[in-house]
Amino acid sequence: MVDRSLLEKAAAIVRESNYTIAFTGAGISVESGVPPFRGENGIWAKYDPRTLDLGFFHQHPLESWEVIRELFYQFFGNAKANPAHHALAALEHKGLLKSVITQNIDNLHQQAGSHEVYEFHGNSQKLICLQCGHHFVPDEIDFEKLPPLCSCGGLIKPDFIFFGENIPMDAYERSVDAAGRAEVVIVIGSTGEVMPAAQMPYLAKQNGATVIEINPGASKFTYTITDIHLAGKAGETMTELFEAVTGEKLKIAHNEK
């Protein structure tokens, strides 16, 4: 439970806002069983970030794919959206949230029912042949035969952004536009260490937005642009914020628990 007076203050600001957006990082999916990248149980503490470097992938596709399969298709391929994802989707459905800018590739915002989701780093549910451009979904890939090859012989790559790869232009432009219009940005579960994604809350702040941050720890945002730091976990805190904003209990469809 976060500080009640801070929560009420944040809820009043969201209620009054005509344009609220969310900016999410790996921390919002930790309670869905998806490990964060940084921190004590972080992915980068166990795996070499080179695995997701574009140059390394081209030179060592098998080595890269063995880690990619474990991390993104076996390990958390069946993660479920948690109450934090559902709270954001419910706020959108009530017209109280315009969009989510996410660094995550786990598709959990869409699974929870969010429609306006701008994926700065792509989505693990899409894969692409680097030779002919054919698109695949995970069910079409035989993960027993790595690296996966297209019928044209081309190497198949997950269509999420590797280090050294450009940010998808559409997601970038929509995110910049949203950050420019935002009166409030709810920043959830990000260290704020990776650019250009982490620029979005700064851009919103420069345009006069109020920054509400949900994170049990401190991030690069906390002592620079955060106006209200709700120091708690995403699931519990977003549920409390939703209920304080709307006066209603957060309902999650049972089949999505």
Contact 192, 201 (CB under 8 A): yes
Residue of minimal Cβ distance to ligand APR: 27
Q: Is 157 in the site for ligand APR (CB under 6 A)?
A: no
Question: Whose Cβ is closer to ligand APR: residue 28's or residue 128's?
Answer: 28
Q: Is 230 in the site for ligand APR (CB under 6 A)?
A: no
Q: Is 30 in the site for ligand APR (CB under 6 A)?
A: yes
Q: Is 123 in the site for ligand APR (CB under 6 A)?
A: no
Q: Is 42 in the site for ligand APR (CB under 6 A)?
A: yes
Q: Shortest approach of ligand APR to residue 234 CB, angstroms?
A: 4
Q: Which of 17, 64, 123, 191 touches ligand APR (CB under 6 A)?
A: 191
Q: Is 37 in the site for ligand APR (CB under 6 A)?
A: yes
Q: Is 103 in the site for ligand APR (CB under 6 A)?
A: yes
Question: Whose Cβ is closer to ligand APR: residue 128's or residue 197's?
Answer: 197
Q: Is 121 in the site for ligand APR (CB under 6 A)?
A: yes
How many residues bind ligand APR, per CB under 6 A? Answer: 24
* Sign of the torsion formed by the C-alpha atoms of 137, 257, 247 and 235: negative
Q: Is 158 in the site for ligand APR (CB under 6 A)?
A: no
Residues annotated as catalytic (active site), given as ranges:
121
Enumerate binding residues for ligand APR (CB under 6 A): 25-27, 30-31, 36-39, 42, 103, 121, 189-191, 193-194, 214-217, 219, 233-234
